[in-house]
């Protein structure tokens, strides 16, 4: 079976993801699409020149929407980071520009006959994922965003640093918006085979500070280099491989939630058919309130840009 991936948007994240795909042999065919013809062409040539030193071959094409028809996965990495335009630390500040880009691109995805899985990285990812689903008409289970995969990873890294552990030894989730209204669901977090809420007392952990580090870690990176790319591209790469391998992994992706009538991050089982099943959580009353508040925030802001 030929594995074919399309990446729309060849900025810092899209280019980093493209390199991960080519360097690790994750696809047989890779299509790169971007409005900046010179940039995306240069990226394609650069990637082709990496191939002689790799044990894999990937056929790379540029700016061909007709190639989407038989693709397995389309990744949306398009968008403009607007935080450097004087905006506050708020990913929804990117919705004005990015929603217009989606309204131009989504019909072309739909009209190509694409019938695979659409993975969204573009911010604000929950609103953008919902916009893509509504315009393309793809099944909700086939349109999902990277959501709080990255935020959950940031939380695990922060907790692991405090406990002097490998970050993979920490489990649990950040839920809700991939943005300021998200929160760490401490009732789900475990390390050293103990609930973190118990470890916090014996190890003198400040859960409020750790939650803040998970929510605002991306801005610290942005302030240092003007963008983030490695963490989110790795999250997207993992999601792509979970889909291809039908791994049925539990991931906190942005997915449509019936009870909130909005896309937000909550763990689900993911495989070749996209979102396969929900994963119920036993959240505290406080956490359920935070999740409702985050859902309301996403919906209110999304509705401003639907038309």
Q: What per-residue confidence (pLDDT) applies to 91?
A: 64
* CA pair distance 246, 259, nearest whole angstrom: 27
**What would the pLDDT profile of 104-142 be if each residue is shown by its tens digit?**
999 999 999 999 999 999 999 999 999 999 999 999 999
Residue 229 backbone dihedrals phi, psi, to 5 degrees: -150, -40
Q: What is the DSSP letter of 257?
A: E
**What would the pLDDT profile of 51-95 be if each residue is shown by its tens digit?**
999 999 999 999 999 999 999 999 999 998 755 444 455 667 788
- β-bridge partners, 5: 30, 73
Token representation of residue 130: 């919902």
Under CATH, which architecture does the 4-145 domain have? 3-Layer(aba) Sandwich (3.40)
Contact 249, 270 (CB under 8 A): yes
Question: Among residues 12, 142, 178, 266, which one is catalytic?
Answer: 178
**What would the pLDDT profile of 277-287 be if each residue is shown by its tens digit?**
999 999 999 99
Query: 3-class DSSP state for residue 143?
Result: strand
Under CATH, which architecture does the 149-302 domain have? Alpha-Beta Complex (3.90)
Token representation of residue 260: 């909130």
Please state the pTM of the whole predicted model.
0.95
The bridge status of strand 254-257 relative to strand 262-265 is: antiparallel
CA distances from 140 to 218, 235, 281 (A): 28, 20, 21
Same topology between domain 4-145 and domain 149-302: no
Q: What per-residue confidence (pLDDT) applies to 306?
A: 67
Helices (runs of H) and strands (runs of E) counted in the chain: 9, 14
Region 164-181 average pLDDT: 96
Token representation of residue 300: 């209110």
Longest dimension (CA), the chain: 58
Range of lowest pLDDT (11-25, 217-231, 290-304)? 217-231
Secondary element (H or E) of residue 121: none
Work out whether the CA dihedral 100, 105, 110, 115 comes out positive or negative.
Answer: negative
Q: What per-residue confidence (pLDDT) applies to 80?
A: 81
- β-bridge partners, 297: none
Q: What per-residue confidence (pLDDT) applies to 84?
A: 46
Across 67-91, b (16+ Cβ under 10 Å) vs e yields: bbeebbbbbbbbbbbbbeeeeeebb
CA distances from 105 to 65, 109, 111 (A): 10, 6, 10
Percent of the chain beyond pLDDT 70?
Answer: 96
Region 223-242 average pLDDT: 95
**What would the pLDDT profile of 11-20 be if each residue is shown by its tens digit?**
999 999 999 9
Percent of the chain beyond pLDDT 90?
Answer: 86
Closest CA to 216 of 180, 240, 186, 244: 180
In this model, does residue 49 exceed pLDDT 50? yes
* CA pair distance 76, 91, nearest whole angstrom: 16
CA 107 and chain centroid, separation: 21
Region 6-33 average pLDDT: 98
Residue 303 backbone dihedrals phi, psi, to 5 degrees: -65, -20
Q: What per-residue confidence (pLDDT) applies to 213?
A: 87
Q: What residue spans define the domains of the chain?
A: 4-145, 149-302
* CA pair distance 186, 286, nearest whole angstrom: 11
Mean of per-residue pLDDT scores for the chain: 94
Q: What per-residue confidence (pLDDT) applies to 85?
A: 46
Q: Which residue has the higher pLDDT, 94 or 152?
A: 152
- Is there a catalytic annotation at residue 178? yes
Contact 233, 94 (CB under 8 A): no
């Amino acid at each position: 079976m030929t594995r074919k991936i399309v990446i729309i948007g060849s900025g810092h994240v899209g280019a980093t993801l493209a390199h991960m795909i080519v360097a690790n042999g994750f696809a047989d065919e890779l299509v790169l699409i971007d409005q900046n013809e010179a940039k995306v062409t240069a990226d394609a040539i650069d990637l082709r020149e990496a191939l002689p030193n790799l044990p894999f071959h990937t056929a790379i094409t540029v700016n061909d929407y007709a190639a989407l028809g038989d693709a397995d996965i389309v990744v949306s990495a398009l968008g403009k980071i607007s935080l450097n335009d004087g905006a506050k630390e708020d990913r929804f500040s990117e919705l004005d520009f990015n929603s217009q880009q989606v309204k131009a691109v989504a019909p072309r995805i739909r009209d190509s006959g694409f019938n695979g899985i659409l993975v969204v990285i573009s911010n604000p990812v929950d609103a953008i994922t919902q916009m893509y689903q509504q315009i393309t008409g793809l099944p909700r289970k086939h349109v999902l965003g990277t959501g709080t995969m990255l935020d959950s990873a940031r939380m695990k890294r922060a907790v692991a640093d405090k406990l002097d552990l490998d970050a993979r030894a920490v489990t649990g989730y950040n839920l809700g918006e991939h943005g300021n209204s998200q929160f760490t669901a401490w009732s789900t977090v475990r390390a050293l085979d103990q609930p973190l809420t118990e470890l916090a007392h014996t190890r003198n952990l400040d859960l409020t500070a750790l939650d803040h580090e998970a929510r605002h870690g991306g801005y610290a990176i942005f302030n240092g280099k003007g963008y983030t790319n490695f963490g989110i591209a790795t999250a997207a790469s993992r999601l792509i491989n979970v889909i291809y391998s039908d791994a049925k992994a539990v991931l906190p992706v942005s997915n449509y939630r019936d009870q909130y009538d909005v896309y937000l991050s909550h763990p689900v089982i993911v495989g070749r058919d996209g979102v396969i099943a929900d994963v119920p959580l036993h959240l505290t009353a406080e956490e359920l309130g935070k999740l409702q508040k985050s859902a309301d925030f996403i919906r209110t802001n999304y509705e401003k840009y639907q038309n």
